[in-house]
Structure 1
Amino acid sequence: MIIVLALTLLTAMCIGRYSLSFSEVIKILFHIGESEKTKSIVVWNVRFPRTIMAMMVGSGLACVGVCLQAMFANPLVSSHILGVSYSSGFGAALGLLLSSNFIIIQGSALIFGFVGMALTYAMSRKNGQTSTIRLVLSGVIVGAVFEALTSFIKYIADPEEKLPAITYWLMGSLSGSSMNDVLKVVPVIGAAIFALWLIRWKLNVLSLREDEAVSLGVNVKNVRIFVIIATTLIVAVSVSFCGVISFVGLAVPHFARMIVGSDHKRLFPASVLMGGIFLVVIDTVARSLTASEIPLSILTALVGAPIFAILLHKTGGGWSD
């Protein structure tokens, strides 16, 4: 999968309206010989940051999906379950309404992502305890509220300038990715993925009943809080830089599960790698298929929704090996 990911990244940097060969891309990336200035600009300023961003965001969202599916012991769970995607989306929409400054937009999306997570967790607590069912229901409530608030933002936005920008952002795009964005996103998402990788064996235990997990010596409450914070960070950062990208966290872990099984020792890294491959391919298609770029969530939903329907029919919403 590492080899496939590397080849996918190189292929993505070759494809576009200004076509390049494998050898040209490799020479430019590794500074072998002399290269045309135009070709170097295309690779380093446009395609390299965009493909790296797609890889990291895809890997992060797939990581979120596999961790939340383990925590809730349900293969039909995705990053939307805690309402973080909706609250981050609202933050981005609010930032776009109030300002054209990307720092404000990204900061607003990041802040509201954590606000949504905090509200979900606070609502799920009862008598000092939190259960998965209350987390799910609280996430649904928080997500519905922020989705309604986002609709209100779109309703009052200027239809000539602000509304198209908000709508396009919420459908997800990597078109504005730069090396500066890559340097901000890669360390944060990479650190969160690494932190979750360190507890991958505990994800197997979380898939069991809570009393069984406790009997095996796992502090379920602390592990849940850790997973929620790390996954919220990944989702909030992804939305703040790239908009809302749906179905990656739902579909990719199932592709990985079909290949390596349900043991998170193998499933976790496989999902992370396949998430990067999946979104790089989707983004390459999105910017190359038509003259105008297709928003990412359109393509990911066209792939993910049928998979979701098939899984729902086969599993009935329950966990299946």
Structure 2
Amino acid sequence: MLDETSPPRLRRHDRAKPRDQRREPAAVVPLALAALFLVTTGLVALALGRYSVPLGHVIEILTSRIAPFPTEANATEQNIVLLVRMPRILLAALVGGGLALGGAALQAVFRNPLVSPEIIGVSAGASFGGALALLLGLESALLVTGSFAFGLIALATLFLITSGRGGTPMLMVVLGGVVTGSFFSALVALVTYVADPNTTLPAIVFWLLGSVATATFTKVLVAVVPILGGAVVLFALRWRINVLSLGDDDAAALGVRPRPLRWVVLLAVALIVAGAVAVSGAVSWVGLVVPHLARMWVGPDHRILLPVSFLLGAAYVVLVDTVARTATAGEIPLGVLTALIGAPVFFLLLRRNRERIWESA
């Protein structure tokens, strides 16, 4: 039985229409609104902080880098906006957009709106790589490399667990992800146990809670490659993901090979998640809540759902990070706030849609 992650079947007279007539102009509206929300959130985030910068000065600073317009902003304001807050906001947008996009793609692959990127165990593997690098006192570049490498190792472990002669049932992928995630989570616990409680342990714990406080343009460049690389793959396959969410039988009848396509999607999501965790630590609930909200807004068509999820996820994490660095005198870990916000919101969504979820189970 199809659930809410499956796109509606095309009617016969819709399939007979030319491609340009099948395009719905209304699809541009949610994309434009989501992009406007992201831009507005980013501008507000650039202005807010311990050292407030007027919003007009922020716009002048940004436009002065594009065209030779004069600005009334002083050197301190320009340095804060361009060198301190800009890389942090860009990194938060990449992390949030990537996690939301990965969650939306996985929910289509598993045909279940309750699936998140953590289900394939890549987050736990990347977390172990970063925690191990902190334990060994490695540089930040090696921390990112180790986190990304162990994220890919977790994906390879999942592939070894589920590989076989026949097709791979979805249940085997889920169970393999649980096994992989539990194994690497145990290794993370071992690292925190042997870490020095006076020096290394606080750094490991803070990193595992998730944060973009140490953002630099170098980290942004590191995150761009895997996150945008995986995003490009998912955007290119968005029509095939629509077909895959109908089920293996229907997908095969429409000429799509389900198993290779599913692994391509899983690999793209693994690249995104590993890249996000490598630069920000574990930021939970974004890949579960944001795609659900986007689906309630634009529907289950992944041609629209995937880009809207990316934009909403980027704006959401930028907004939460702004709260994290301005709400109190000390910095609140990003992963703590996303969990505090995401869990109650998702509970309300479950209460509202529980009958639909049970009927589709």
- State the TM bucket, normalised to the shorter chain: over 0.9
Cross-structure match for 1:250? 288
Q: Distance in 2 between matches of 1:68 and 1:6?
A: 27
1:14 aligned residue (47, 54, 63): 47
1:300 aligned to 2:338? yes
2:106 aligned residue (68, 76, 81): 68
Closer/same/farther in 2, CA of residues 126 and 311 from structure 1, 3 Å limit: farther
1:221 aligned residue (256, 259, 284): 259
1:281 aligned to 2:319? yes
Q: Distance in 2 between matches of 1:108 and 1:187?
A: 16
Q: In 2, are the aligned partners of 1:76 and 1:308 still within 8 Å (CA)? A: no
Q: Distance in 1 between matches of 2:62 and 2:359?
A: 44
1:1-321 mapped onto 2 (5 Å cutoff): 1-31=34-64, 32-34=69-71, 35-313=73-351, 314-315=353-354
C-alpha root-mean-square deviation of aligned residues, in Å? Answer: 1.5
| 1:281 aligned partner, one-letter code | L
Q: Secondary structure at the match of 1:292?
A: coil
Deviations 1:146-167 (A, max 9, x none): 1111001000000011110000
Moved more, 309-318 or 72-81: 309-318
Q: Distance in 2 between matches of 1:70 and 1:311?
A: 18
Shift of 1:319: 8.5
| 1:302 aligned partner, one-letter code | L
Q: Distance in 2 between matches of 1:166 and 1:231?
A: 25
Q: Distance in 1 between matches of 2:329 and 2:260?
A: 49
Shift of 1:56: 1.1
Moved more, 194-203 or 240-249: 194-203
Shift of 1:105: 1.0
Q: Distance in 1 between matches of 2:277 and 2:188?
A: 14
Q: Distance in 2 between matches of 1:176 and 1:105?
A: 13
How many residue pairs were aligned? 320
Deviations 1:83-121 (A, max 9, x none): 000011011111110124111111111010000011112
Runs (4 or more) in structure 1 with deviation over 4 Å come to 316-320
| 1:309 aligned partner, one-letter code | F
Q: Distance in 1 between matches of 2:358 and 2:264?
A: 24
| 1:80 aligned partner, one-letter code | E
| 2:265 aligned partner, one-letter code | V
Moved more, 206-215 or 296-305: 206-215
Shift of 1:311: 4.2
Moved more, 306-315 or 38-47: 306-315
Q: Percent identity?
A: 43
Structure showing greater Rg: 2
Q: Distance in 2 between matches of 1:283 and 1:319?
A: 37
TM-score normalised by length of structure 2: 0.86
Q: Distance in 2 between matches of 1:178 and 1:291?
A: 22
Q: Secondary structure at the match of 1:30?
A: helix
| 1:169 aligned partner, one-letter code | W
Gaps of 5+ in 1: none
TM-score normalised by length of structure 1: 0.96
Gaps of 5+ in 2: 1-33
Q: Secondary structure at the match of 1:160?
A: coil
Q: Distance in 1 between matches of 2:345 and 2:218?
A: 35
Cross-structure match for 2:20? none
